[in-house]
Chain A
Amino acid sequence: MPVWFWLVPIASIVALGSAYGFFRQMMKESEGTDTMAKIAAHVRAGAIAYLKQQYKVVGTVLVSLTLVFCVLAYVLHMQNPWVPFAFLTGGLFSGLAGFIGMRTATYASARTANAARHSLNRGLRVAFRSGAVMGLTVVGLGLLDIAIWFLVLTRFYGTDDAHQVVVITTTMLTFGMGAAVQSLFARVGGGIFTKAADVGADLVGKIEAGIPEDDPRNPATIADNVGDNVGDVAGMGADLYESYVGVILASAALGAAAYMASGAEIQIKAVIAPMVIGALGTLLSVIGVFFVSTKEGSTAKQLLASLGRGVNGAAVMIGVASLGVLAAMGMPNLWGLWLALITGLLTGITIGRAAEYFTSQGYSPTKRIATASKTGPATVIIGGIGEGMMSVAIPVLAVVSGIGLAYFFGSGYSFSTDTMSLGLYGIGMAAVGMLSTLGITLATDAYGPIADNAGGNAEMSGLPPEVRERTDALDSLGNTTAATGKGFAIGSAALTGIALLASYIEEVKIAISRVLEGGADYTFPNGSTLLASATDTLQSLSLMDMMTRYEVVLVNPKVIIGMFCGAMLAFVFSGITMKAVGRAAGLMVDEVRRQFREIPGIMSGESEPDYARCVSISTKAAQHEMMLPSILAIAAPVVIGLIFGVPGVLGLLAGAGATGFSLSMFMANAGGAWDNAKKYIEEGHHGGKGSEAHKAAVIGDTVGDPFKDTSGPGLNILVKLMSMEAIVIAGVAVAVHLV
């Protein structure tokens, strides 16, 4: 085992140790007054109650799928015997990452509000370092899972046989599916929960009853705050855990395939290089966390700069250090791989900046939507949809440029298909570069809901104006960083999708080799046959050879059908999740109205609303509504695979990837722009709060809520889950297909 590999477990321990240290530091802070602690306890209890329900559902699904994989692996021999266990640990670690992040966030909100009573810097430190607990836990657990599985599998398979290294890496990739299943439920369920509560709280509490935001008289206000945690923290944590391990493992698998012919030493270096870069980025993220501080009375720009010091500092350091590490590892095509990695970093930054441009009230797209509000809700909706659609251009161009450049650099400065596997490895390295500093970028993401909840706590607790001004400043900053974080998540999903397509072909080859090892011949759709004894011939087939033999060309109806189905799925998935939010919000609206009607004294403050019931309604609705989209995502690759085989699955992944990425970007940016157009008006423009323009903007924001927080982020996971699943069940598509 190359010595550099040990950086992976070391970084994992450092990240988890630092996360624990930051957690302990945060817990030493006071929760403030009794009221503050009581409100935080309400939110915490609601969040835990929700997660318990979610884990019951996900647990059932994970165990059921594990049993299916056991049958495929041990009874039908269509799958690697490690797959069921790898799948299960991926699901467990992903859930654990979300749980720890959410638990930390629910402890941190009151403490952040209380810290803000002393100073802005103290509030920022508590909120950011609590966010860092989440960021470092996600990467720490991810690296730990990777390190353990790599050590276990290399012990069983060894690293001398190039083919076995490919088997190891593609087997490891399957634990990404467990993580993807977990993250799909977390994102979709959390998204439905949070938006049902949010919309319910807004429509009845604010619009009907005229109660201000975060007013304790609103029965749905606690559910709203719980939703911030279960959707924006737990959901996002599970999502990015899956992205992170998916990126590293897909790149490792591509490295194993690309350098098969280069000898065991080079091949294993190519496998561990993405892990080492991830580890290095994690260590630098820990350092970056300490760069974040600000002075009292800082402006929004200064606050953003202080966060930028941490994030950009870590990015610059990884840019420099990765060259040294790749050189020290003795990687072939050193400069090419390094440039691919830098390409990924720059692509992530470009997508983040584009997201900020299209969603921040400081720029013209959001201002245009705000202006459109003067002519009513219809023009707000039209404006938001239009700007959202336009916003897809820059990220897509950034991603395709990133793909092209990373391929060019990775393949040794060529676009030739002869070096396709090397080029794809370059794309994998670009994705690793993009997510290498996830430890700190996720900290800035998770910081947002903590600051938001701190503001809610300060408001409900009636803290003095200067404290609320500080928590407002922290919250406002969180909105900007969230847009950037989402850009990274979506961008990495696109690059990972490309890498996973190539990994799928590798897994198909392994599945065919299993058929050959069973003594049977294998006939490709183009009519060519591999005899049972021709395993060496199979290994020598390039990606392009495989594409030719499977007739993966655009005029093949199987491919086209798969592509159209993939594109359709992205829309149907979005439709189902949007409608789910609508139904769940309807239940919440009814409940809030009922409480106002049946519990006397809520409005006068003499009686406390039944917060728990609203939390329970959102929980049940999310639990119920998350099933259909999840089943759809899990079933689609199986059904297409069983009917159209490998070409159909490749078409499905390509169609879902291209459409899902664009649609996800559109929904996230349109939703963000609507939200900030409303905030822009609330700052006093176009009549300010309460004006007709504001009323129209509130409608836009309500429409945008499920766009940006349920369907948009869910689409990323849909694409990644389908890719992962296709890899896991490649053996089935190879062995059984109708046409």
Chain B
Amino acid sequence: MTTYVYLSLIPEALIASMLPPDDFGLYYAIGSAKRSRGQAIFFSVDRNKLSGDDFPLANVDTRCVAHSDGRPKSSLYLSIYRVLERVPREALTALHLATDDGRVLTVEPKQFVPDGEDRAHLYQEFCPVTPRIVSHLNPAEFAEFITRAERDVHVPRIAFAELTLGNLKNDPDHHDIDNLPYPNIGHLRDCLRELSKAPHKASKTVLRQMTQEVLFRTIRNGVFVGDPTGISAFPLPSRDALEREYRAWWRSAQSTFGH
């Protein structure tokens, strides 16, 4: 039986499992007896691109085996600390977004193409830290900025999503702000105003950390993993494709309460 290796972003962990992505997402979201619930964001990892020095991979196949009653092993934690920085971007073969009732959307990586010339972007970081940031920088620039070793405050690698700002992306005073589903919306507008008045300022923190689940429907362009060497993009399907081809996931994603 195949042993899969997954990189979970929330919480950060490298996990071996006998479950394929859809089943693992279901298990990870709702647990084995429906006593827990929570969305999951994880990547499929090509274990051949991982370093044996960083993770205990040698005996994975002997440890990740079926239970005595034949049930597949759901999870074997391989690492839970500073994981992302030790998984090369090239090893991430697919992104999986599991809703809190266990529906899984799988997204393949694609070449990153900057989308227009938006004056502002809203980023939700997932790993290794989880603030919500507004920035002038496009995703590639933002990833490079946040992982730049020369800066006092930086991380070696970052996983984040761009969230929709609606019309606020070009005009922070636009009146449609009420229809954005974010908490403390007035503060978001203030941050955008401050950013617009300070072109030299690359980013501004809106929320210090995630306290709730992220609304998948607010993800714009996709999820990104970046480091000083570049960026891997995992763009979500179009709204129309989500409505028509991924209807079950899309409905479930809209039933989640979060921000």
Asked whether A and B interact, the reply is yes
B179/A686 in contact, CB under 8 A:
yes
User: Do A690 and B34 contact each other (CB < 8 Å), given the known contacts A465-B244, A465-B247, A604-B102?
Assistant: no
Extra A-B contacts (15), CB below 8 Å, given A596-B34, A689-B217: A206-B255, A209-B30, A209-B34, A210-B252, A212-B255, A462-B247, A465-B243, A602-B34, A685-B179, A687-B181, A689-B254, A690-B217, A690-B255, A690-B258, A691-B259
**Contact at B101–A210, with CB atoms within 8 Å?**
yes
**Residue A600 is within 8 A (CB to CB) of chain B in the complex:** yes
Name A601's closest neighbour in chain B (CB-CB). B34
> Does any Cβ of A come within 8 Å of B180's Cβ?
yes
In the bound complex, how far is the Cα of B248 from the Cα of A213, in angstroms? 11
| A215–B26 alpha-carbon span in the complex (Å) | 16
Contact with B along A645-688 (1 / 0, CB 8 A): 00000000000000000000000000000000000000011111
Show 6 residue pairs from A and B whose CB-CB distance is below 8 angstroms, ordered by the A residue: A209-B101, A217-B101, A603-B34, A690-B217, A691-B259, A695-B257
CA A695 to CA B258, docked complex, whole Å: 9
Complex Cα gap A213–B251 (Å): 9
Q: Is B170 an interface residue (CB 8 A)?
A: no
> In whole angstroms, how far apart are the Cα atoms of A695 and B256 in the complex?
10
Inside 8 A of A215's CB, which chain B residues have their CB? 251
Chain B residues in 8 Å Cβ range of A685: 178-179
Chain B residues with CB under 8 Å of chain A are 23, 26, 30, 33-35, 37, 99-102, 178-183, 215, 217, 243-244, 247-248, 251-252, 254-259
Whether B179 contacts A600 by the Cβ 8 Å rule is no
**Alpha-carbon separation in the docked complex, A210 to B243 (Å):** 18
A28 contacts chain B at the CB level, 8 A cutoff: no
How far, in whole Å, are A213 and B252 apart by their CA atoms in the complex?
9
Q: Interface residue count for A (Cβ, 8 Å)?
A: 31
**Cα–Cα distance between A221 and B142 once the two chains are bound (Å):** 45
Closest to B253 in A: A690
Those of A555-587 within 8 Å (CB) of chain B: none
- For the complex of A and B, the 5 pairs showing the least CB-CB separation, nearest first, are A687-B181, A691-B181, A210-B100, A210-B101, A212-B251
Q: Tell me whether A208 and B178 are in contact in the complex, defined as CB-CB below 8 angstroms, given that A690-B257, A692-B259 are known contacts.
A: no
In the assembled complex, which residues on chain B have CB atoms less than 8 Å from the CB atom of A603?
Answer: 26, 30, 34, 101-102
Contact A687–B255 (Cβ < 8 Å)? no
- The answer for the CA separation of A477 and B248 in the assembled complex, in Å, is 25
Q: Report the nearest A residue to B27, measured CB to CB.
A: A604
Which residues of chain A have C-beta atoms less than 8 A from B243's C-beta?
A: 465
Tell me, yes or no, whether A211 is within 8 Å of chain B by CB. yes
A residues neighboring B (CB under 8 Å): 206-213, 215, 217, 374, 462, 465, 596-597, 600, 602-604, 684-695
Q: Does B26 lie within 8 Å of A604, measured CB to CB?
A: yes
**In angstroms, how far is the closest chain A Cβ from the Cβ of B17?**
15
Contact call B252/A211, Cβ cutoff below 8 A: yes
Tell me if A211 and B254 are in contact (CB < 8 A): no
Chain B: CB-nearest residue to A682: B254
Q: Assuming A597-B35, A690-B215, is B101 touching A211 (CB within 8 A)?
A: yes
B178 touches A691 (CB 8 A): no
CB distance from A371 to the nearest CB of B (A): 8
Measured CB to CB, the closest approach of chain B to A304, in angstroms, equals 25
**Is there an interface contact between A212 and B257, defined as CB atoms closer than 8 Å?**
no
A698 and B99 alpha carbons, distance in the complex (Å)? 20
CB neighbours (8 Å) of A684 from chain B are 179
User: Contact between A210 and B215 (Cβ–Cβ < 8 Å)?
Assistant: no
B180, B251, B258, most chain A CB atoms within 10 A: B251
> How far, in angstroms, from A374 to B183 measured CA to CA in the complex?
10
Interface pair B181/A690, CB less than 8 Å apart? yes
Q: Which single residue of chain A is at the shortest CB-CB distance from B254?
A: A689
CA gap between A602 and B31 in the complex, in Å: 12
Report chain B residues within 8 Å CB of A211: 101, 252, 255
**With a CB–CB cut-off of 8 A, which chain A residues contact B34?**
209, 596-597, 602-603
Residue of A208, A212, A600, A695 touching B33 (CB-CB under 8 A): A600
Bound CA–CA A462/B259 (angstroms): 28
Q: How far is the CA of A693 from the CA of B182 in the complex (A)?
A: 10
Chain B nearest Cβ from A59, distance in angstroms: 41
CB-contact partner of B256 in A210, A213, A600, under 8 A: A210
Bound-complex Cα distance A627 to B248 (A)? 42
Q: A603-B102, A604-B102 are in contact. Are A690 and B254 (CB under 8 A)?
A: yes
Q: Which of chain A's residues has its CB closest to B212's CB?
A: A692
Chain B residues whose CB sits within 8 angstroms of the CB of A695 once the complex forms: 257
Q: Please tell me if the beta carbons of A208 and B35 are within 8 angstroms of each other in the complex.
A: no
Which chain A residues border B244 with CB–CB below 8 Å? 465
A465: chain B residues at CB < 8 Å are 243-244, 247
Within the complex, the shortest CB–CB distance from B210 to chain A, in Å, comes to 14
Q: How far is the CA of A692 from the CA of B182 in the complex (A)?
A: 8
Distance of A697 from chain B, by nearest CB (Å): 11
The CA of A462 and the CA of B215, in the complex, are separated in Å by 24
Measured between beta carbons, the chain A residues less than 8 angstroms from B178 are: 374, 685-687
B256 contacts which chain A residues (CB < 8 A)?
210, 690
**Least CB distance, A373 to chain B, in whole angstroms:** 11
Bound CA–CA A347/B102 (angstroms): 52
Q: Is B254's CB under 8 angstroms from A687's CB? A: no
Beyond A374-B178, A465-B243, A685-B179, is A597–B33 a contact (Cβ under 8 Å)? yes
